[in-house]
């Protein structure tokens, strides 16, 4: 009888014969679980989502309303949701999320279940509906709509009465998710004041109802089930950030898991990617005294959110007129302009490519060239399965030296997040290193601009063979590292 090793060789040989005889095409490798859902994949590709905090707080210059505000103070005489959607479109945003109800309980739509809403406002003589105007404007520009409905409600007397309030909340969910067409993300905020009445939310019923009414929606909360909080409101993910995590270790409103949320878990059995929420200004609501963040701050946030395998949820609050302030519109434009300047040119395109190995050999369809096409999910470089370690891919400029200060690496996450450790070398000298990659990992080089004849990316550790869907070498003209020392490299 043949040794097991020999039988394996015979099997591989027969497989090759079959492949030749029947001209079988080389298939994609098996996935590594957990995998994203269809809606999670779509969400990840958005990269930037716009948040709009708007309500009575806009008119009282506060962040958390008391719930005692009169609806009569809500009067955005120049409200124009088309202007919001234009700002979003110019910023390259494909989803906008509006606070339909914040903690103060005031509803931006005429809810049947309360009079604490736009019905009681002078705006459009109580006949207005901000949610409707918001979804109409978004739709007209092919932008998707999302809604925030605060669980904590400081106005409604049912809050604290478990059955009554859960019924009220569910009733409002049904209104919002039945009336306004497709909603792509719903935000369940875990925030609650320390002196608020005790209240148990029936999250299981809420989430089931949401999925029943909107099948392609993503539910955000501290603990998912589709999108998790990143654990802070600065817009920063951990420099290691896995989309995988153990959802059973999470709960909504639990401050003890902030670090876990920030980094995720390589051993996690749930696909639950993180969203990085931050405001363009200091506060979430508009305040006359505040100004938008500088372009360099926004770029820093971009590198630490999108560049760390997350989606950035950037809040841009409408003002008392009902418009996004001109300063914020301009800032968004600058931000998008900067991103385009940096990433629209991929210097790696002028390089020849080589890799340690490739699945199915030369004609298998999994060669290194796949990292330079426009598909950042389903075409990828895959090393041969025979290779168990020392994976690498190398770029050499066709002439002269290549000069860059940003490296972009993207995994084919449709088949699971795999990379655990990677390193980047220029002419044999290490210039950057990192842990996991995920949908997108950006390294903005601490040492500033580097140049050389070869750039090698080594995958030092991975769960199975790494699958790389895209790589970019870019030049960021805005990056001025502090204490820049060009010759210094990472050891
Ligand atoms: C927090 C809230 O308390 C803030 O007001 C804001 O809505 C932010 C996005 O979430 O938890």
Nearest atom (ligand 1) to Cα of 51: 9
Q: What residues form DSSP beta bridges with 411?
A: 468
| CB of 353 closer than 6 angstroms to any ligand 1 atom | no
Please work out whether the CB of residue 252 comes within 6 Å of at least one atom of ligand 1.
no
Q: Indicate whether residue 285 lines ligand 1 (CB < 6 A).
A: no
Looking at ligand 1, which atom is closest to the CA of residue 277? 9
Sketch the domain layout of the chain as residue ranges.
38-343, 347-474
Ligand 1, atom 2, residue with closest C-alpha: 191
For ligand 1, is residue 277 a contact (CB within 6 Å)?
A: yes
Q: How far apart are CA 166 and CA 206, in angstroms?
A: 8
Residue 47 CB–ligand 1 contact under 6 Å: no
66 Cα to the center of ligand 1, angstroms = 14
Using most ligand atoms within 8 A of CB, pick from 191, 253, 275, 283 the residue to mutate for ligand 1: 191
**Nearest protein CA to atom 6 of ligand 1, as residue:** 284
The rounded average pLDDT for each run of 10 residues, N- to C-terminus, in the chain (491 residues) is 63 73 86 98 98 98 98 98 98 98 98 98 98 98 98 98 98 98 97 95 98 97 96 98 97 90 98 98 98 98 98 98 98 98 98 98 95 98 96 97 98 98 98 98 97 98 98 97 57 46
Model confidence, pTM: 0.95
Is the CB of residue 220 below 6 angstroms from any atom belonging to ligand 1? no
pLDDT of amino acid 261: 97
Ligand 1 centre from 191 Cα, in Å? 6
pLDDT at 15: 72
Whether ligand 1 lies within 6 angstroms of the CB of 185 is answered as: no
Region 38-343: CATH code: 3.20.20.80
52 alpha carbon – ligand 1 mean position (Å)? 11
With a 6 A CB cut-off, is 284 part of the ligand 1 pocket? yes
Cβ of 191 closer than 6 Å to ligand 1, yes or no, is: yes
Enter the tokens of residue 436: 């996991």
What pLDDT was estimated at residue 212? 98
For atom 1 of ligand 1, the residue with the nearest CA is: 191
User: What does the pLDDT read at residue 254?
Assistant: 86
**What is the reported pLDDT for 3?**
52
The CATH code that applies to domain 347-474 is 2.60.120.260
């Amino acid at each position: 009888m043949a040794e097991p090793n020999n039988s394996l060789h015979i099997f591989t040989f027969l497989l090759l014969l079959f492949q030749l005889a029947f001209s079988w095409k080389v298939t994609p490798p098996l996935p590594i679980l957990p995998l994203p859902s269809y809606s999670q994949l779509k969400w990840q590709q958005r990269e930037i989502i716009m948040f709009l905090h708007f309500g009575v707080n806009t008119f009282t210059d506060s962040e958390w309303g008391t719930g005692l505000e009169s609806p009569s103070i809500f009067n955005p005489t120049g409200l124009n949701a088309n202007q919001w959607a234009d700002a979003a479109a110019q910023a390259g945003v494909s989803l906008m999320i509006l606070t339909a109800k914040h903690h103060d309980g005031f509803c931006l739509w005429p809810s049947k279940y309360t009079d604490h809403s736009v019905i009681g406002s002078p705006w459009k003589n109580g006949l207005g509906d901000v949610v409707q105007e918001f979804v109409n404007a978004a739709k007209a520009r092919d932008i998707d709509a999302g809604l925030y409905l605060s669980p904590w409600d400081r106005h409604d007397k049912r809050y604290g009465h478990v059955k009554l309030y859960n019924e009220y909340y569910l009733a409002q969910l049904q209104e919002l998710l039945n009336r306004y067409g497709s909603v792509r993300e719903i935000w369940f905020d875990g925030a609650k004041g320390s002196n608020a009445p005790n209240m148990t939310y029936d999250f299981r019923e809420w989430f089931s109802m949401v999925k029943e009414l909107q099948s392609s929606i993503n539910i955000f909360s501290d603990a998912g089930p589709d999108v998790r909080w990143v654990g802070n409101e600065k817009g920063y993910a951990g420099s290691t950030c896995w989309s995988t995590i153990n959802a059973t270790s999470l709960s909504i409103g639990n401050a003890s898991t902030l670090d876990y949320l920030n980094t995720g878990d390589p051993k996690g059995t749930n696909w639950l990617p993180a969203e990085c929420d931050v405001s363009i200004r200091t506060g979430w609501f508009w305040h006359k005294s505040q100004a938008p963040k500088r372009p360099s701050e926004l770029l820093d946030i971009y590198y630490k959110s999108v560049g760390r395998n997350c989606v950035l949820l950037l809040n841009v609050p409408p003002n008392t007129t009902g418009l996004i302030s001109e300063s914020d519109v301009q800032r968004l434009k600058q931000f998008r302009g900067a991103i385009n300047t940096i990433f629209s040119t991929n210097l790696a395109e002028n390089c020849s490519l080589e890799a340690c190995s490739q699945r199915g050999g030369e004609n298998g369809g999994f060669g290194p060239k796949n990292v330079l096409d426009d598909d950042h999910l389903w075409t990828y470089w895959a090393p041969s399965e025979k290779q168990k370690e020392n994976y690498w891919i190398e770029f050499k400029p066709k002439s002269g030296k290549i000069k860059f200060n940003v490296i972009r690496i993207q995994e084919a996450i449709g088949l699971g997040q795999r990379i655990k450790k990677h390193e980047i070398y220029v002419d044999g000298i290490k210039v950057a290193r990192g842990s996991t990659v995920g949908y997108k990992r950006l390294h903005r080089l601490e040492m500033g601009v580097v140049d050389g004849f070869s750039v090698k990316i080594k995958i030092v550790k991975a769960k199975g063979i790494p699958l790389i869907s895209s790589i970019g070498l870019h030049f960021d003209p805005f990056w001025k590292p502090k204490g820049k020392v060009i010759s210094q490299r990472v050891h």
